[in-house]
Amino acid sequence: MSSKRKVPFSGSWRMPALGTVHFMKPLHMRSPVPQGRRHTLPASEFRSLSPEDAISVFEIEREAFISVSGECPLHLDEVRHFLTLCPELSLGWFEEGRLVAFIIGSLWDQERLSLDALTLHRPHGSTVHVHVLAVHRTFRQQGKGSILMWRYLQYLRCLPYVRRAVLMCEDFLVPFYQRSGFHVLGPSEITVGPLTFTEMFYPVRGHAFMRRNSGC
Ligand SMILES: CC(C)(COP(=O)(O)OP(=O)(O)OC[C@H]1O[C@@H](n2cnc3c(N)ncnc32)[C@H](O)[C@@H]1OP(=O)(O)O)[C@@H](O)C(=O)NCCC(=O)NCCS
C-alpha cells in the first residue's frame, strides 16, 4: 500500500492533567527558592503543546522536512487537529520561550500502523502513535532529541491505559530509536514513493516496575 503523501519523521481524551506529572510541572512549581514575579522567560521548559503552538511546530517541520523532501509528517491543519484532540500526547521543549524540539502523538487501536493512523486519533486505543519528533536545526546533535524522547516515554509510563508506543522511521534512524528503547517491529506497510519505513515499538506496559517506582 502506498501513502498518498506522508513522510513520517523520524517521529486524547482521558488523560490526567499534564501538570500532575512531576517532570512536566512548570519550573516555578518545582523550584525550592522563594517565588517572586518572573521577569524573564524560563531558560528551559517542557510542557504539552496547544493549538497556539502549531505555527512554531510547523516552522520546525518546514525546515526539517519540507525543505528537504517537499513533504512533512504533519501538515499545519493536522498539527492543529492533533493538538486540539489530544494535546496531552504532545511535548514541547522551550528555551527562553522558543520552541526548540517537540513530539506529537495520538492514540491508535491496531497492532500495526496503517494509512488511517497518519490522520486519525482513536480515543480508545492503548497504543500511542508518535507521529513526529523534530528538533530545530540549530539545536540538533546536542542530545535534545534523545532527552525529549526519554521524557516523553517517562510520561507515557504514568498513563495506565497506554500499553505501548509505536512509530515509523526511515532505516537510518533505527539505531537512534533503538537507543531510546524502541524495538523493530518490521517493515511498515506505508510507503511514500520510493521511500520505505521501519515500524518500531516501545513496550510502555513492560515497564510496570518503573511505573510503580516513578512517582506517577
Ligand atoms: C532526528 C532528530 C530528531 C534527532 O535529534 P537530535 O537532537 O539531533 O539527536 P541527538 O543529539 O539526541 O542524537 C544524535 C544522534 O541521532 C542520530 N541521528 C540524528 N540525525 C541523524 C541522521 N540524519 N541520520 C542518522 N542518524 C542521525 C545519530 O545517531 C546521532 O548520533 P551520532 O551523531 O553520534 O551518530 C533530529 O536530528 C531532527 O529533528 N532532524 C530533522 C528531522 C529529520 O531529519 N528526521 C528524519 C527524516 S525521516
pLDDT of residue 155: 97
Going by alpha carbons, the residue nearest to atom 10 of ligand 1 is 143
> Using H for helix, E for strand and C for coil, what is the string for the chain?
CECCCCCCCCCCCCCCCHHHCHHHCCHHHHCCCCCCCCCCCCCEEEECCCHHHHHHHHHHHHHHHHHHHCCCCCCHHHHHHHHHHCHHHEEEEEECCEEEEEEEEEEECCCCCCHHHHCCCCCCCCEEEEEEEEECHHHCCCCHHHHHHHHHHHHHHCCCCCCEEEEEECHHHHHHHHHCCCEEEEECCCEECCECCEEEEECCHHHHHHHHCCCC
pLDDT value at residue 35: 56
pLDDT attached to residue 67: 84
Q: Quote the cell numbers at residue 153.
A: 516515554
Which residue owns the Cα nearest ligand 1 atom 33?
141
- Cα torsion through 71, 136, 47, 55, rounded to 10: -50
| CA 153–ligand 1 middle distance (angstroms) | 18
* Ligand 1 atom closest to Cα of residue 139: 7
Residues taking part in catalysis:
106, 120, 131, 133, 177
Ligand 1 in reach of 72 Cβ (< 6 A) = no
Residue with cell 531558560: 43
The closest residue, in CA terms, to atom 32 on ligand 1 is: 141
- The b/e string for 105-125 (b: 16+ C-beta within 10 A; e otherwise) is bbbbeeebbeeebbebbbeeb
**Which range has the top average pLDDT, 12-16, 192-196, 199-203?**
199-203
- Confidence (pLDDT) at 186: 98
Q: What is the pTM of this model?
A: 0.84
Cβ of 64 less than 6 Å from ligand 1: yes
Residue nearest to atom 34 of ligand 1 (CA): 141
Closest CA to 94 of 26, 32, 159: 26
User: Which residue is associated with the grid cell 499534564?
Assistant: 18
Per residue in 102-144, pLDDT tens?
A: 999 999 999 999 999 999 999 999 999 999 999 999 999 999 9
- Ligand 1 pocket test target in 67, 72, 173, 182 with most atoms within 8 Å of CB: 173
- Which of 141, 177, 179, 188 best tests ligand 1's pocket when mutated (most atoms within 8 Å of CB)? 141
Q: What is the reported pLDDT for 38?
A: 61
Domains and CATH numbers, the chain: 5-20+41-212 (3.40.630.30)
Rounded-to-integer distance, Cα 160 and Cα 156, Å? 8
Distance 140 CA to ligand 1 centre (A): 7
